[in-house]
Structure 1
Amino acid sequence: MDNITSKVGDAISDTTITTKIKAKLAADSIASAYNISVETNQGVVTVSGKAPNQEAVDRTINIVKDTDGVREVKNNLTIQD
């Protein structure tokens, strides 16, 4: 596989991972209660936003980790004041 084809494949995979995560979060009773930004780059998922409490942060991170294709999770979630 040449470099361009590989990058296209990575982009498709990243988009698929992001879509799967967003669908899982939307279906979750805790994680869906707040606005979460999800970005994926080469299987590394960055989640950002303000969570209502630590339980919501933990739940979100677990959902992301349990998604196929995720290689690493960068947690930029903060707890609301």
Structure 2
Amino acid sequence: MKLQSYDGNDGVSKTQLKHQSCEFIDVFQTMREREKSIIYGLLSEDKVLFQFSVFNSFNQKIQSASQVLAECPNFPYA
């Protein structure tokens, strides 16, 4: 993620970044039940995580966050 204007405020909180990664879980809702349980099992066992980094227009990292998908509030087996 790259911000176009910084002005001393990154404009993105770690909570927003983590929430954005948890929304990915909803992609699996359209799958068949058997497929969903296999994928959720893998996500849980392997501790799959999303990592986000925010860069300014000078390509300097100004913020980062990571989220284990199995720890998301919308994860079905949490």
Q: TM-score range by the shorter chain?
A: 0.3 to 0.5
TM-score by structure 1 length? 0.32
Larger Rg: 2
Normalized per residue, which structure has more strand? Answer: 1
